[in-house]
Amino acid sequence: MDHNIAAIRATEIYKKYLASQPLETLKEYVKTGELRLKIATQIFENLDSILQETSAKFLLCAELSNNLYSSRRYRACIRALEYCLRYATYAMLANSTSLLDRDVLKGREEIYSSLEISTDVIVGMLHKIKEAIASVIGLEAEQEIAIYIDYIIKSLQNDIALRESEFIAAMQAFEKTRKNYRNALRELAQ
């Protein structure tokens, strides 16, 4: 939607009509809008079932569910999951990821940290919610919303990879400092 509005604004500045490419993009947006609206309605009407099925699938996956030590963390994780799904649905309706960048992904690390939820857990549950949507609503709905859920997942995974690389770099710097310190102590001892 953002790029459609941007195209309209750009042509308005020059007092011209939409060129063929932006017009085709806008036509496609309108044509697929009915499907997106139908899927969004189905997601909201079946939200409880989707979340229940996601929880069941997730709890069967021991490596992920072991990170939820308390019912408080579990409830916080379900709230975070519902929030991600709600905004993924809004993004699907708008056909734009800018909502996700602004309202979901910005500041997410602080939010999950304050809730004591590992980013790995959220990523795992987001994968499970796609399966639940396919099961509860259908494959067409899952394929349409998956674009936006995958966008969230990819961003979260990039954060995990960045943290891991920062940790490795810090450990290497620590090791180098420790080695230099040992060498300095040896020289002093001689």
Distances (CA, A) of 54 to 85, 108, 125, 127, 128: 12, 21, 7, 9, 5
Positive/negative CA dihedral, 125, 128, 134, 140: positive
Higher-pLDDT residue of 50, 14 = 50
Compute CA 63 distance to the chain's CA centroid, rounded to the nearest angstrom: 20
Report pLDDT digits (tens) over 21-75: 666 767 777 777 888 899 999 999 999 999 999 888 877 765 555 555 567 777 8
Look up residue 180 and give its two tokens: 């230099």
Among 50-64, 90-104, 142-156, where is mean pLDDT lowest?
50-64
Mean pLDDT of all residues belonging to the chain: 77
> What are the structural domains, with CATH classification, of the chain?
2-189 (1.10.490.20)
What is the pLDDT averaged over residues 170-186?
76
Between CA 83 and CA 122 the distance in angstroms is: 11
The confidence band for 146, taking pLDDT boundaries of 50, 70 and 90, is very high
Q: Please count the residues of the chain.
A: 190
Residue of 70, 99, 72, 71 lying closest to 85 (CA atoms): 99
Report pLDDT digits (tens) over 105-139: 776 666 666 666 777 788 888 999 999 999 999 99
What is the pLDDT averaged over residues 67-84?
76
pTM for the model: 0.69
pLDDT at 151 (0 to 100): 93
pLDDT at 114 (0 to 100): 61
Helices of type H across the chain: 2-13, 20-45, 47-60, 62-65, 71-94, 98-100, 108-114, 119-136, 139-189
